[in-house]
Structure 1
Amino acid sequence: MSDSTTDPRLWLEDVTGEKQLDWVRARNDRTVDAYTRTDDFTTLESRIREILDTDARIPYARRRGRYLYNYWRDAEHVRGLWRRTTLDQYVLDDPEWDVLVDLDAVAAEEGENWVWSGAQVLRPDQNRALISLSRGGADATVVREFDLVTRRFVSGADSFELPEAKTDISWIDVDTVFVGTDFGAGSLTDSGYPRIAKRWRRGTPITDAETVFEGETTDVAVGAGYDNTPGYERSFVDRAIDFYAAYQYELKPDGTLVKLDVPDDARVSVYRDHMLVRPRSEWLGYPAGSLLATDYPSFLEGSRDMTVLFTPDEHTSLEQYTWTQNHLLMVTLRDVQTRMRVLTPGHDGWTDEDLDGLPDATTTSVIDVDPREGDDFFLNSSGFTTPATLLSGTIGQPLEAIKQAPSFFDSGDITVTQHFATSDDGTQIPYFVVGRNVAGSSAVGSNTETPSPTLLYGYGGFENSMVPAYSGGVGRAWLERGNTYVIANIRGGGEYGPTWHTQALKANRHKVFEDFAAVAKDLVARGVTTTEQLGVQGGSNGGLLMGVMLTRYPQLFGAIVCQVPLLDMKRYHLLLAGASWMAEYGDPDNPDEWQFLSKYSPYQNTDPDAAYPPILITTSTRDDRVHPGHARKMVALLEEQGHEVWYYENIEGGHGGAADNAQAAFKSALTFTFLAEKL
């Protein structure tokens, strides 16, 4: 067991020290030599890279008025192109794209390892943009203003340009922005995000920007934004006091703040005169996870007259909702399978209708709307064996499939079934099984009794739902070999609404681990796989899950892949963005909360005498969200204790672990090669 106060491996938390990077390179070399020096690896890496680079992918776009904007990477454009086209062109098989930024050319000219982090286009003129660029894929970005007419970055004292920081910036008008960034000492929260929101006017130094709000250093972040809906222009301030709770205000033109009288943990949005509230705990007699609508001006005057748009039940939760110009699109999950509805406000109340024409047995989500322009929308739909389809729609008209992703593996005899495992407290935990003739499955064609190598994936945190989706990489690297793939919908996620998540916070975190272990046991009990053939994988919060599986349930697995993980729960709140997650996990400095954290923190619970399955731990030097020290220290400790541990740290790549398609393909091929050998 490791005591953080006298931890001899703290030196590995120095991210870019030469001694530390030499330690990393030595372990990288060992792993590369063991798993990547074969023709099979090279072939697999090439086949995964082909998926990532192919021009046959769907070029997903954001519609903003007359233009649709897309960011595109392929084999020729490694860093990518930011480009736009018109709707008439976009629906064609081979649209004509107007390239705005060639990031490969910019990076070469400037000698920087730029990774694209996004762009905000000024509405309605669309003649300027705020572009965020990351060095090596980190969360911290450089912000630069771009002229969409001259196709050049704007520089000098008259531009909106900011150095590297975790910046929050948004347009008010062509000469004004709201900005939160590193303004100097005391301007960031303990989590490393902006504590101060300012209004910055063109032609003035950032030091003269007008402060509109200040939070506390213990907050997660503070931000300000501008609603540019014609006729309803308003400014709002959001003060996130923890990861789930926030104080929300309307910022009046005279600088006064009007606090919205809603629960701190509610999700609130205002569109025109409509205010939507999704409480995460019971409020005014309405259950957690419901969706409520009210008249915003009346609410500010004291009215609490609510219209219930959605009420959850034990099988159904609200996954997504978004406005078109005149309607509300709603996506629900029923036992982790999507349905869609159209809700419409009117003088006589709201109407509620099904959205027809969705593909069967797929997960569908709204990927873009532009409520300034009309009731058009784009949907994306895919399933475990069904490649993505891009659907275009207008409320009241039939859906049209305008683009179809190619199939990257033969799914003809692959079946998908859903099952439920019983967790320690009796809760039924759903999971999906994907494979060819899976033993123990009730699917048609599942006529074999031979268990197969199986990869079980899990996350279980932050109310993120793990829904069915197509993965060409999983198909080529795993399913084509006759193996089985499983997704576990454990608590901590959002598959059954906020309560599915809140059941597993802080002292109840053990439920996440018990749920995942229950699925693993059920897979073996039903004959889908054996303990020796069962591998597990997870990243970030899922990496913490993998660490607990290693130290608490090692007897259940044949191999573990642990990616960009949290592992030292004694110090996680002191590293990078870790302080922002204390609402999820607890405060290690609080003795009462450390009591439950200490029972599962992987770094503090390794056992030199235990029989652990082989584990591959991966991370990124440039990950400025989850500190790479978690992974480094755990590897060093496991090595000292004599366990089989493999390590790979990408020197760039951010929290996603890869800065470009080549790195992503290498990482994926390494993972599946390790699993194939061990299972």
Structure 2
Amino acid sequence: MRKSIFHLLILAPLSGLLAVPALAQIETPAPGNLVTEETILAYPETKTVDVVDELFGEYISDPYRWLENDVRENEDVAAWVKAQNAVTNSYLETIEGREVLAASMTKLFDYDALSAPTEAGGKFFYERKSGGQNQAVLYVREGKDGKERVLIDPASWSADGATALAEWKPSGDGKFLVYAIQDGGSDWRTLKVIDVEKGEVLTDTVEWAKFTNLAWMPKNTGFLYSRFPKPKEGGTFQSLNKNQAIYLHPLGADQSKDYKVYDTPDRPELNHSAELTSDKEWIIITSSSGTDDRYEMTLIKVDAPEIKRQTLVEGFDYSWSLIDGIGDTLYFTTNKDASRLRVVKTDVSKLESRDVMCDGPDAETTICGKDVFVFSEVVPEHSATIDSAAIVGDKLYVDFIDDAKSRVEVFALDGTPVGLIDLPGLGTVSELNGSAKTATGYFAFGSFNRPTTIYSFSDAGKSAIWAKPDFPFDPDTIEVKQQFYQSKDGTKIPMFVVHKKDLDLSEGAPTLLYGYGGFNISVLPQYKPAWMAWIEAGGVFASANLRGGGEYGKAWHDGGRLQNKQNVFDDFIAAGEYLIAEGVTPENGLAIEGRSNGGLLVGAVMNQRPDLFAAGHAAVGVMDMLRFDRFTAGRYWVDDYGYPDKEQDFKTLLSYSPYHNIKSGTEYPALMVTTADTDDRVVPGHSFKYTARLQALDTGDKPHLIRIETRAGHGSGKPTDKLIEEYADIYAFLAKATGLDVVK
């Protein structure tokens, strides 16, 4: 189970920012007028409102707060979005190369994107998304060599292809499969059940599931899922997510009959996820309070005469992730006493009395005896970081991140090393799966120059191709190198640099630098058709493994969050400086890109070093660091960002908040901001407000535009045709700004 401020600038006195006329003196272009680089961009007039917050003695002006309103519900915001898209589209019409990039991406999407199979009852379930398909299709195969057939095809679910198959889980015997429907990119899910043999969708319908795992009970009596209460009218896409609970849905019943298995009404901020061991002996409930990997775990015996909840792990102190269980022995990965994680096990049939600190009389702390589960070490902490693990047969397979690339080691269940799994090169293992009941496991492997290939394995040193796509290009023509550079404080940072092997770099080449740096998320080698289109056009692609991620364990994550967040920006800036100093890219040829927390990254470094970059793409970014915790899932992010209502955190957040730190009178690089109307993860108001302020202040003549997609969310579930259209626009914009000739 693994899974989401700059120089202190006081925006008072009020007359300072509120007096900005929002470029009212610039007329909106008549329809059909094209904006060229030789003219001043005629941005739409954006009204301002008199909103000022006093926070810890400082007055913070927020003249664009009205843009936080839901674009689907507010006519003024909808009109602003329409006007901004009109200007952006007019500018994009002046750029050559969009059609060339779209054609290239269409070719590069033309392969079978595969998922690793899940085996259940002798059946194999897996997804395939072939070239031209907007959404992945779920297939089932009877036995290893059986004929595959389509089980679920989302193509008919919506006319625009924006309704996607999300999470799914077959029952243990493979007779039924519960699946989630994602509409328009939203995080909300509708759950349905299909009879696998008949291919018939049952009447079961579950609404308001979100951030959920799916777990079948024995004998197909029903499944466990997580949901929130139905939002109040008008709050579906913006209201805070609280009071998540785990429910058991009896197969064939109406949702009103679902039984609440676990909730914490006294702590409405907690999230809960349920899973079962593969032998269906135990339910493990994992609770979290935010995005940080700190969990409590609760244990429920499946066949007990009544539900008895036992605390397996108490206190939100460490990361715990269930690998699997064999009878009463459960295996976990944890970072308790191991920054880069280790594997432990516990016998849940045994409790030991231990002295612990507890509350005594008069609220004093005292020592008392308590029965607790005891964990013993199976695989100790390595120099590499554990990313995932699986028990297959009688072996334990552990996927390590070793300097931002994968390595899979094999152990006996007592921790004795057995060997390594052969991997085809530098890349990333994902979807590692199997169970103690099966002899064969599976994983997906990919890299920047290698679309995902599926492998099976049954012993150390042996892996075999289970399914391989026909690559839409020759991977041997693409060079992937890993390099290390020093950040501002001397920390060594890894970075991958990818380009065509025959590319002439004697004078450098336009370079696209990608980064994220947050939430313990490791950015590992992966194939993306849009990135490859940039590479095939003659550009260089670079991906930096910034602090804040999980590549080197907890210390690496801690080094880039809360009061250390500036390290992430320093790491990214240093990556750009390194690429220029090494001659990989010319000084005017560096573009940067980031999504979500990476959009925040782009906005922050644009403010801090506008001289370093030629262009940027800030996608679905967190741009207002003083109000991020007020919408949907934003409250979870305090683990990485801190609390805006705590003074020390407030000062840090204000020091780098992209929205608040735009420097008037400074020449900014060309910038494309992208978001979507149905993004209920990072609400689009972040991007709207940031763009409005960037356009209103004196930030130079280069284009500062926003592209707002409709019927799309934070990213997942977006149909292929929308992806191609979007990234053809974005990369043509970046190519123009960096001098990359995509038309040649």
Structure 1 counterpart SS, 2:523: coil
TM-score (norm 2): 0.80
The answer to whether 1:64 aligns with 2:134 is no
Flag the 1:136–1:472 CA change in 2: closer, same or farther, 3 A: closer
Code of the residue aligned with 1:551 in structure 2: it is N
Q: Distance in 1 between matches of 2:496 and 2:89?
A: 32
Flag the 1:251–1:657 CA change in 2: closer, same or farther, 3 A: closer
TM-superposed deviation, 1:220: 4.6
The 8 Å contact of residues 136 and 622 in structure 1, kept in 2 or not, is answered as yes
Bigger helix share: 1
Given the alignment, which residue of 297, 309, 317 partners 1:257? Answer: 309
Q: Greater RCO between the two (CA within 8 Å, min separation 6)? A: 2
Flag the 1:550–1:76 CA change in 2: closer, same or farther, 3 A: closer
The 8 Å contact of residues 364 and 379 in structure 1, kept in 2 or not, is answered as no
Code of the residue aligned with 1:334 in structure 2: it is D
Q: 5+ residue gaps in structure 1?
A: 91-95, 438-444
Counterpart of 1:626 in structure 2 is: 682
The 8 Å contact of residues 250 and 259 in structure 1, kept in 2 or not, is answered as yes
Given the alignment, which residue of 559, 562, 583 partners 1:527? Answer: 583
Code of the residue aligned with 2:575 in structure 1: it is V
TM-score (norm 1): 0.88
Q: Distance in 2 between matches of 1:112 and 1:39?
A: 28
Counterpart of 1:215 in structure 2 is: 264
TM-superposed deviation, 1:601: 0.7
Q: Distance in 1 between matches of 2:406 and 2:177?
A: 35
Code of the residue aligned with 1:404 in structure 2: it is K
The 8 Å contact of residues 133 and 720 in structure 2, kept in 1 or not, is answered as no
Flag the 1:11–1:296 CA change in 2: closer, same or farther, 3 A: same
Flag the 1:389–1:239 CA change in 2: closer, same or farther, 3 A: closer
Counterpart of 2:434 in structure 1 is: 370
The 8 Å contact of residues 410 and 480 in structure 1, kept in 2 or not, is answered as no
Return 30-39 or 286-295, whichever deviates more.
30-39
Q: Distance in 2 between matches of 1:127 and 1:412?
A: 43
Counterpart of 2:598 in structure 1 is: 542
The answer to whether 1:646 aligns with 2:705 is yes
Flag the 1:208–1:103 CA change in 2: closer, same or farther, 3 A: closer
Q: Distance in 2 between matches of 1:472 and 1:226?
A: 34
Flag the 1:148–1:607 CA change in 2: closer, same or farther, 3 A: same
Counterpart of 2:68 in structure 1 is: 13
Matches within 5 A, 1:164-313: 169-173=214-218, 174-184=220-230, 191-192=240-241, 194-202=243-251, 206-216=255-265, 220-227=269-276, 229-230=278-279, 233-244=281-292, 245-252=294-301, 253=304, 254-261=306-313, 264=316, 265-269=318-322, 270-272=324-326, 273-280=328-335, 283=336, 286-297=337-348, 300-301=351-352, 302=372, 304=374, 306-313=376-383
The answer to whether 1:418 aligns with 2:488 is no
Structure 1 counterpart SS, 2:152: strand
Q: CA RMSD in A?
A: 3.0
TM-superposed deviation, 1:672: 1.2
TM-superposed deviation, 1:625: 0.7
Flag the 1:546–1:396 CA change in 2: closer, same or farther, 3 A: closer
TM-superposed deviation, 1:466: 1.5
Given the alignment, which residue of 411, 422, 446 partners 1:357? Answer: 422
Q: Distance in 2 between matches of 1:225 and 1:104?
A: 30
Structure 2 counterpart SS, 1:517: helix
Return 32-41 or 178-187, whichever deviates more.
178-187
Return 599-608 or 382-391, whichever deviates more.
382-391
Flag the 1:247–1:429 CA change in 2: closer, same or farther, 3 A: same
Code of the residue aligned with 1:351 in structure 2: it is T
The 8 Å contact of residues 534 and 558 in structure 1, kept in 2 or not, is answered as yes
Flag the 1:594–1:648 CA change in 2: closer, same or farther, 3 A: same
TM-superposed deviation, 1:487: 0.8
Counterpart of 2:167 in structure 1 is: 118
Flag the 1:658–1:10 CA change in 2: closer, same or farther, 3 A: farther
Tell me the percent identity.
23
1:139-190 superposed Cα distances (whole Å, 9 cap, x missing partner): 10112232334423222xxx35335766665332433333432345899998
The 8 Å contact of residues 493 and 571 in structure 2, kept in 1 or not, is answered as yes
Q: Distance in 2 between matches of 1:574 and 1:105?
A: 36
The answer to whether 1:35 aligns with 2:35 is no
Structure 1 counterpart SS, 2:462: coil
Structure 2 counterpart SS, 1:635: helix
Structure 2 counterpart SS, 1:408: coil
The 8 Å contact of residues 64 and 370 in structure 1, kept in 2 or not, is answered as no
The count of residues paired between Structure 1 and Structure 2 equals 648
Return 591-600 or 652-661, whichever deviates more.
652-661
Given the alignment, which residue of 181, 187, 196 partners 1:148? Answer: 196
The 8 Å contact of residues 222 and 237 in structure 1, kept in 2 or not, is answered as no
The answer to whether 1:331 aligns with 2:399 is yes
TM-superposed deviation, 1:75: 5.8
Counterpart of 1:442 in structure 2 is: none
The answer to whether 1:429 aligns with 2:493 is yes
The 8 Å contact of residues 28 and 648 in structure 1, kept in 2 or not, is answered as yes
Q: 5+ residue gaps in structure 2?
A: 1-10, 12-16, 18-50, 54-60, 353-371, 739-744
Counterpart of 1:441 in structure 2 is: none
Q: Distance in 1 between matches of 2:231 and 2:460?
A: 54
Q: Distance in 2 between matches of 1:184 and 1:670?
A: 37
Counterpart of 1:568 in structure 2 is: 624
Flag the 1:613–1:115 CA change in 2: closer, same or farther, 3 A: same
1:68-108 superposed Cα distances (whole Å, 9 cap, x missing partner): 22334446653453321234447xxxxx4312233223446
